[in-house]
Amino acid sequence: MENLLASPKTTFLNLPVSKRDSIVREAVAEFAAQGYQRASINNIVKRLGIAKGSLYQYFENKESLFLYVFESFTQKVKQTVKASVSLERPTDFFLLIKQVLSAGIRFIDEYPDYFQVYMQVVSEHDVPQRDSLIASVRLFSLEYFSPLCEDLQRQGKLRNDISAQMVVFILDATMDRFLRGYARPDLDGGMALAGMQPVQMLGEIDTIIDVLRSGLLAQS
């Protein structure tokens, strides 16, 4: 991702990793619970046990800290997906989608607060660089899936009566809605995704993949 976001001060980068991690962890928890506007630097420093002025030695302001947190989120998403996908040059496009969707579930399980930060950005409109933040997440899907879609369309394996961009849009919308439903019970349409057993969850993912496969595969 192109770095469009505010950078921390050098004093932050010079801190021991454990101290950097604790600052980010408390910031993530605050932004996840409160969103950007209601988040309080006072709450963050109180939990860290440091003076408010100390945090401003590391970040220019709340906006800079928030943007750094969101960039950390996007990097962790990329790392999780890359670590979860077993196909370097996938021949089964829909298996790849399944692996990416399963990676999203694992990401939410491992980093629930980070995903809630993303959810807050989606629902809260008065967030610095909001359009760029959301676009950076969407761009990852576009960069990841578009070349594969175009290649499969050239091979006649995917429908070519719709654009690769539309295919990616459909995939992105489907996966994003499913993952948000998993993270937030009020968004799961009554499917009880959050409390679902792993075997049942895999079955639900397989259902999604089957629907996508039947709708996007080229007709022979």
**Which pLDDT score is estimated for 6?**
66
What pLDDT does 84 receive?
81
148 vs 35, which has greater pLDDT? Answer: 35
pLDDT of residue 2: 41
Residue 199 reports pLDDT greater than 60: yes
Residue 219 has pLDDT above 50, yes or no: yes
Q: Domain 67-216: which CATH class?
A: mainly alpha
Distance CA 193, CA 215 (A): 24
Q: What is the mean pLDDT of the chain?
A: 90
pLDDT confidence of residue 91: 67
Find residue 12's DSSP bridge partners.
none
Q: How many CB atoms lie within 10 A of CB 112?
A: 12
> Is 4 a residue whose pLDDT tops 60?
no
Tell me which of 7-16, 26-35, 83-92, 131-140 is least confident: 83-92
User: For residues 4 and 136, is the Cβ–Cβ distance under 8 A?
Assistant: yes
pTM of the shown model: 0.88
pLDDT band at 118 (very low <50, low <70, confident <90, very high): very high
Q: Give yes or no for residue 61 having a pLDDT over 70.
A: yes
Residue 5's pLDDT is 59
Q: Considering the chain, what percentage of its residues have pLDDT values greater than 70? A: 94
pLDDT surpassing 50 at residue 137: yes
Q: What is the mean pLDDT of residues 169-175?
A: 92
Given a cut of 50, is residue 3 above it in pLDDT?
no
> Is the predicted pLDDT of residue 210 greater than 90, yes or no?
yes
165 close to 146: Cβ distance less than 8 angstroms: yes
Q: Which two tokens stand for residue 174?
A: 């489907």
Contact 74, 136 (CB under 8 A): yes
